[in-house]
Structures are given as C-alpha cells and as structure tokens.
A = this chain, B = another copy of it.
Amino acid sequence: MILTVTANPALDVSYRVDRLRPGHTHRIGAVFERAGGKGFNVSRVLHDQGIPTRALGPVGGILGDSLRADLLDAGLPHDLLPVAAATRMTIAVVADEATMFNEPGGPLSALDWSRLQDLVGSYLPRTEVLVCSGSLPLDAPDSSYADFVSLAAAHGVPTVVDVGGAPLRAAAEAGVAIVKPNAEELAAAVGEGDPLTGARQLHSLGAGAVVVSLGPDGLLAVTADGEWRATLPQPVVGNPTGAGDAAVAALADGLRRDLPWPDRLRLAVTWAGAAVAAPVAGSVDPDVLTELHDQVTITAL
C-alpha cells in the first residue's frame, strides 16, 4: 500500500473564462470544486490504476467538510485528521492558460503535527512507500516532511517527497528515497539554477534519487545507479496541472515494485503525459497511457 500525506490540503475551485482581463468583472458560468492537494492527486492516480493507496491529511472548517465529502464521493480511501485551522481554498481561473490564486493554509499547532505523526505511524506497518507531497501550511517547520521521512525509515519504509525550498533540502538531509522537485523548487533548495548541477548537489546531501520535472522537456534523474534524461518526442497538449503528481505516483509505484530506474522513468513520463491529456488533475487518460509508453526516450547522461 502506498500512503500519501498532504500537509496543506485545499478545496480547489475552478472558473472557466473566455479571457482573463485584469481590472474587469468576470461573470462565471459553472463552478467546479474538488478536494485538492498534491498527495490526494497522487492517491487518485494510484487508485485509478488499481494500486492500493490511502490519503492522509489535516482538514478543518467548512471547506474541510467539503473536501471530506468530495473524497467520499470519489471513493478514495482516506483518513483525515480534524484540526482547528480552516482548510484553505485555491482558485484556478482557466482561459487558454490557468491563473492560480493559492491561499496560504492555516497553521497547524505542535499538537496537530504530533497527532498527524501518530496517524501516519499507525499506517506504516502496512505501508510499502510513503509519499509526502505539496506545500506546507503557514509557519510549519522546514523539517515537517523530513520528520515523516525519519519516522517511516524507523519502520523500514522508504519515502518520496514532492516539495520545494528548505523543506526539500531538509528531506534530502534526512535520507529521503526519492525527491521530485520541479526546476524552480530545486533551485530554491540548493541555490543553483542548472537542474543537473542542482540535482547532483541535492543527491550528495543525502537524497537517494533526485528526479527533476522539466515540464514539456520531461524528467532528469540523478540516482545512485546512474543519471538519465527521459523525454517524449513532442509535448502532450492539455492541462499540465497534476502532471507532476502523476509522475510522483509512478515513481512511488516503481519504488514499491523495485523496478530498474529506466523503467521507473518511462512509467513516470508516461503517466505525467497521460495526466496532461486528461481534463482534470489526479486522473490519467488510459488510451494515452498505452500510446505514450513506447514513445519515451531514456538517455543516460
């Protein structure tokens, strides 16, 4: 079973507009809401693929109730921790491109963090891979995900972390199995703009493998077994939101099955591409999966 932790869930609200015009009033037609948070998206992808998973995270307030209801509707296995801080909202205004407004997320108390640790700990004996994904709430310690890495390691469970900046660096130093930052998140962690150099730095800090998502340019991986680029011949057209989460889901599944690295990267690029082709984050298009799988090029660096 792959356990996911989303430290800073959100109710994701989407508005479709013809064009975003700063300074104007936009009358919205349909409103689309769903439980948001990168770990939830990872679990959705795994669940869709028939891979056992459970999604954990703190929720509070009235939007927390909506989030819980959405996970129930989706039939996604979950265990949400009630906390005092109200669950935040993100707004996506979607025209040709998406414009995002991300609320910060209320702070968790030290007791909340300790209860979340206990909740994660209670599942670790049944867990093959732990995934910690997405931003941290306001005022969270940089070590928040690193602490889960250590907790999981004490149970012999490897962890995949998808976050940026100082919390990413802390996870690497805690000996995380795999990190999956994008280029910007990586640069914020190591202060190095070149993805390959930055990935090598993060690897040398203690991360078992560093997989950098480069959007339409695919993935770059620095691992103990070697270094690779994984690319598609042409970018997939669609909605890139959730592509990184699909890649994380694939990396977690590849880790669980102990696949060779080139196979893990092929899977990750395939799932990410299929997620771009799917209309909403957290789902992958099965027809596209089959089509893309043979198109991935893996190049040793």
Contact = CB atoms under 8 A, between A and B. Distances in A.
A65 interface: yes
Contact of A97 (B15, B23, B62): B23
Instruction: Count the copies.
Output: 2
A28 B104 contact: yes
A295 interface: no
Interface string A220-264: 000000000000000000000000000000000000000000000
The 10 closest A-B pairs by CB, nearest first: A23-B97, A62-B62, A25-B100, A20-B22, A26-B101, A28-B103, A22-B99, A31-B103, A27-B102, A15-B101
- Chain A interface size, as a band, is 20 to 34
Given A23-B98, A31-B104, 13 more contacts: A15-B103, A20-B99, A22-B99, A24-B100, A25-B100, A26-B99, A28-B101, A28-B103, A29-B104, A62-B62, A62-B63, A62-B65, A91-B91
A83 to B, nearest CB: 17
Interface string A103-116: 11000000000000
B62 A99 contact: no
A51 interface: no
A204 interface: no
A267 interface: no
B95 A22 contact: yes
A28 B138 CA distance: 11
Contact of A22 (B22, B63, B102): B22
Contact of A25 (B15, B28, B102, B103): B102
19 contacts: A13-B89, A21-B99, A22-B97, A23-B98, A24-B99, A24-B100, A25-B99, A25-B102, A27-B102, A27-B104, A28-B102, A28-B103, A28-B104, A31-B103, A31-B104, A62-B62, A91-B91, A91-B101, A93-B101
A29 B138 CA distance: 10
